[in-house]
Structure 1
Amino acid sequence: MINPSASGWIDKFFGKLKGRLPVYENSHDLYRAIRDSGFIYGHVVILENIDDSEVKQWDTHELTKVALMSILFDVYRLITKESDTDDFIKRAIPFYKQMQPESFALLKKVLPSSPQSHELENLLDVRIRTNDNIISRSFSHILTNALLFMDVLAFRQYLLDLEKPQKYIKKLEEAVVTIVTLALNSKEEKTQYDDLLIRLFEASVRYTKLSAVSTGSLENAGFDYFESKSEKNYLLDMAAMAIWSDGRAHQSEIDFMYRLNERLGLRDDAPAESIASYDVFIKLNRKHIPFFNYSNPVKHFYDHAAQSVSQLIIRNKNRLVKELSNNGELVVLLTHSTHRSLNAKEKKKIKKQLLEICKTVPSLTIFLLPGGSLLLPLLIKFIPQLLPSVLNENLDKEDNG
């Protein structure tokens, strides 16, 4: 059996590939197969190169890691017309080292006598865990893992012309962020979750700051840099994910997809295929994928995060009581937040003082991680419900003062 969490899994994986390798005539055929697997959408449901008996033993992290490696090898075979696993590993290692040098400190030490496949295992593990914070754990399937396909496109470009991966993936991230923003702006009916999706993208991208990306219009967007059908179809599929809402799309959203398609220069039926593929994927797999049971996948993040924050507060209730008892001003502001809107100065003061408390409670340091501050409103919401005695006591002191 292959254990993707144990050293040596790549060698075992390749040892079981003989006679199972699919043949793809071109990059577009490969892209469609990857999309059908769910990898484009951030949740793998099919791994053709390995027996189901192996796959059903793996958790989501392990399945995603193996799928990424397998797809990278498929790209290698398509570009080089070779199936040399040793050569693939030799090329994949410098690719990842160039793409994420900031992660070297996280790498486990590999003995000099260890095979290079062990080094690649280490690099892939770090890559999957790059965004391992409160955001990705709650939302990675629909967002962070969907962005993993950028690794595949960057590796393809690396094999073709040895372009530096960081430069390429930065441009690709900027294009994805631009398209998702424009797609959401095309929606006739906006919800609180649309804004959350944008902020979650900002928490998940590695090289791009949303504030530095000028969305403008489709006509002025810098899509000319991307020439392959795989790149263009990926951008179109990201737009389809952004506008999807339980299989319903308004005319303005459909119009946006067709205008984007015209800008990308794809086939006339590409938008319909993109929307239909995502919708069909959800309908076929929603029973097996928890977040697809929600009408809006972004809403699932919000609901799941709320539950996680509630559990954290309950587990650390005594410590929070102690910290809050020493900060009467914060308690009063939190109490006021339950029955009136706070002004900008009060909100800023609450955020600052809560983050200081989070530093003193180890389990709450998750709010200090990238993206963690997005969950502070949930923390503010739950504290008055779970710590009434402290809040009421301090409110009485203020009223009697």
Structure 2
Amino acid sequence: MINPSANGWIDKFFIENNDNFIDFQGNTLSFYEDCRATGFIYGYVVCYQLQNQINTTKWSYDEVTKVGFLNTLFSVYCLEKNNGSKEEFIDLVYQFYKIIQPENLNFIKKLLPEGSLSYRLESIIDERIQTNSNTISKNFSHIITNALLFIDVLAFEHFLKNNTLPADYLKNIESDCIKIVSLALKIKEKKSKYDELLVKLFENSIRYTKFNSIENIELAEIKLIRYSSFMEKLYLLDIAQMALWSDEKLEPKEIDFLKQLSLDLELDASLLEKSSNEINNFITKYKEEIPFFNYSNPIKHFYDQANKNVTKLIIRNKDRLTKEIKESGELMQLLAKSTTKDLSKEEKKKVKKQILDICKTVPSLTIFLLPGGGLLLPILIKFIPQLLPSAFNENLEDS
């Protein structure tokens, strides 16, 4: 039996499932629709792309997701390589991540100097999955970050097709996903503060993009023409569907938006209808299990819990954090300025960058540097005035 938390689980997974993988015979649509049925597209894995399912009753959700991630990457590899092997797949995945996150790969290499590539891949997958352990509430955030995890799969497909990956590929597709989500929510007839907060959560769950604002953007401004992969197009459509599903009803304007998006992506109308039906069926079936839909106010619930946990973490590191902030001259100046007037976009970017640099020097605060850690950064920034001299707090009260 595989234990996805023990070293060697990847090799064991391939040994135990050698004859269990599905042959999609090069059919991308068949692969994608099967992947959609597993829940991986939606960030909530309920089964695997295997002929016979694995018993996961004793696994944590993070373990289920890790195996789902590996299985999906391998399925894409098999889709592109007719006569591939497990060894070549592991080598290619490792080379792929060496391109998109070289610093982390160097760290893993030093950590496991004698480890096989499969052992190193285990460490990479651990890092990619948003576990939310200890400091982050598991009630909400992973449904966002793991939905965007499929972007890694799309990038890996591009890498396999072209033997390379453009430097801006991940940034482009990630930012376009966020723009589409924002547009989808903005056309809702009945908006709530939680829809707006959902946009912020998506914005803060991004891994590759320094993304500031999506105000006043139009669908025509998004460069959808750059997406030539059938799978990319299907995923962008599904992302929009996910954003619009929250009230379980599509209004006429929402339907028109999806039709226009589908048209701009050059997808057949039947694919839009099938996407709508499948996401409705999936979420209706698993709604009680999916954290996103399991609370009346899931986003507020997440922020309340995360605020408590992160506040405790900051308090434990208060002295070290205060010292680092005081020693950062430009950051102190910007924070002082922020108490009397609004900072420009460029100044806000500087504050965020310098705070993240400080987090790198405090081991307990490296949580803010992990995938999904951006979700928590606003909580840290909000807490900072309490760490600074009283003059800062007085200015805040007067402003």
Question: Would you call these one fold, judging by a TM-score over 0.5?
Answer: yes
SS for the counterpart of 1:370 is helix
Higher alpha-carbon deviation: 221-230 or 125-134: 125-134
1:122 corresponds in structure 2 to 123
Q: 1:116 to 1:237 in 2, by over 3 A?
A: same
Which of 373, 376, 380 pairs up with 1:372? 376
Q: How does 1:314-325 map to 2 (within 5 A)?
A: none
2:186 corresponds in structure 1 to 185
SS for the counterpart of 1:152 is helix
Look up the equivalent residue of 1:172 and give its one-letter code: I
Look up the equivalent residue of 2:303 and give its one-letter code: A
Q: 1:37 to 1:345 in 2, by over 3 A?
A: same
TM-superposed deviation, 1:126: 1.8
- Structure 2 distance, partners of 1:56, 1:124, is 21
RMSD: 3.9
2:394 corresponds in structure 1 to none
2:23 corresponds in structure 1 to 23
Question: Is residue 242–residue 279 contact of structure 2 (8 Å, CA) maintained in 1?
Answer: yes
TM-superposed deviation, 1:116: 1.7
Question: Is residue 170–residue 207 contact of structure 1 (8 Å, CA) maintained in 2?
Answer: yes
1:103 corresponds in structure 2 to 104
2:346 corresponds in structure 1 to none
Q: 1:218 to 1:309 in 2, by over 3 A?
A: closer
1:250 corresponds in structure 2 to 251
SS for the counterpart of 2:189 is coil
- Structure 1 distance, partners of 2:366, 2:19, is 49
2:221 corresponds in structure 1 to 220
Question: Is residue 158–residue 164 contact of structure 2 (8 Å, CA) maintained in 1?
Answer: yes
Q: 1:55 to 1:257 in 2, by over 3 A?
A: same
TM-superposed deviation, 1:306: 1.2
TM-superposed deviation, 1:9: 0.6
2:57 corresponds in structure 1 to 56
1:4 corresponds in structure 2 to 4
Matched, 1:274 2:285: no
SS for the counterpart of 1:245 is helix
Higher alpha-carbon deviation: 115-124 or 257-266: 115-124
Higher alpha-carbon deviation: 120-129 or 39-48: 120-129
Q: 1:250 to 1:155 in 2, by over 3 A?
A: same
TM-superposed deviation, 1:287: 2.8
Output the TM-score relative to the length of structure 2: 0.75
- Structure 1 distance, partners of 2:205, 2:314, is 28
- Structure 2 distance, partners of 1:151, 1:313, is 31
SS for the counterpart of 1:22 is coil
Higher alpha-carbon deviation: 301-310 or 94-103: 301-310
Q: 1:366 to 1:379 in 2, by over 3 A?
A: farther
Higher alpha-carbon deviation: 130-139 or 275-284: 130-139
Instruction: Deviation per CA, 1:219-246: give whole Å up to 9, x if none.
Output: 2320111112211110000001111123
Question: Is residue 261–residue 271 contact of structure 1 (8 Å, CA) maintained in 2?
Answer: yes
TM-superposed deviation, 1:112: 4.5
Higher alpha-carbon deviation: 137-146 or 76-85: 137-146
Matched, 1:86 2:91: no
TM-superposed deviation, 1:95: 0.3
TM-superposed deviation, 1:375: 4.1
Question: Is residue 243–residue 253 contact of structure 1 (8 Å, CA) maintained in 2?
Answer: yes
- Structure 1 distance, partners of 2:98, 2:15, is 25
Instruction: Deviation per CA, 1:5-47: give whole Å up to 9, x if none.
Output: 1111110000011221111131111011111000000010012
2:302 corresponds in structure 1 to 304
Q: How does 1:154-173 map to 2 (within 5 A)?
A: 154-164=155-165, 166-173=167-174
Look up the equivalent residue of 1:279 and give its one-letter code: N
TM-superposed deviation, 1:311: 6.7
Question: Is residue 136–residue 204 contact of structure 1 (8 Å, CA) maintained in 2?
Answer: no
- Structure 1 distance, partners of 2:126, 2:315, is 34
Larger radius of gyration: 1
- Structure 2 distance, partners of 1:133, 1:169, is 29
1:43 corresponds in structure 2 to 44
- Structure 1 distance, partners of 2:137, 2:164, is 28
What is the identity percentage for the equivalent residue pairs of Structure 1 and Structure 2?
40
Structure 1 residue runs of 5 or longer lacking an equivalent are 321-343, 384-401
Question: Is residue 34–residue 49 contact of structure 2 (8 Å, CA) maintained in 1?
Answer: no
- Structure 1 distance, partners of 2:182, 2:120, is 37
Question: Is residue 238–residue 275 contact of structure 2 (8 Å, CA) maintained in 1?
Answer: yes
Higher alpha-carbon deviation: 204-213 or 279-288: 204-213
- Structure 2 distance, partners of 1:29, 1:362, is 45
Higher alpha-carbon deviation: 54-63 or 43-52: 43-52
Q: 1:215 to 1:234 in 2, by over 3 A?
A: farther
Q: How does 1:59-78 map to 2 (within 5 A)?
A: 59-78=60-79
- Structure 2 distance, partners of 1:164, 1:144, is 22
Question: Is residue 239–residue 257 contact of structure 1 (8 Å, CA) maintained in 2?
Answer: yes
TM-superposed deviation, 1:52: 5.1
SS for the counterpart of 1:55 is coil
Q: 1:109 to 1:68 in 2, by over 3 A?
A: same
1:260 corresponds in structure 2 to 261
Look up the equivalent residue of 1:93 and give its one-letter code: Y
Q: 1:192 to 1:225 in 2, by over 3 A?
A: same
Aligned residues: 352
Look up the equivalent residue of 1:146 and give its one-letter code: A
- Structure 1 distance, partners of 2:132, 2:165, is 22
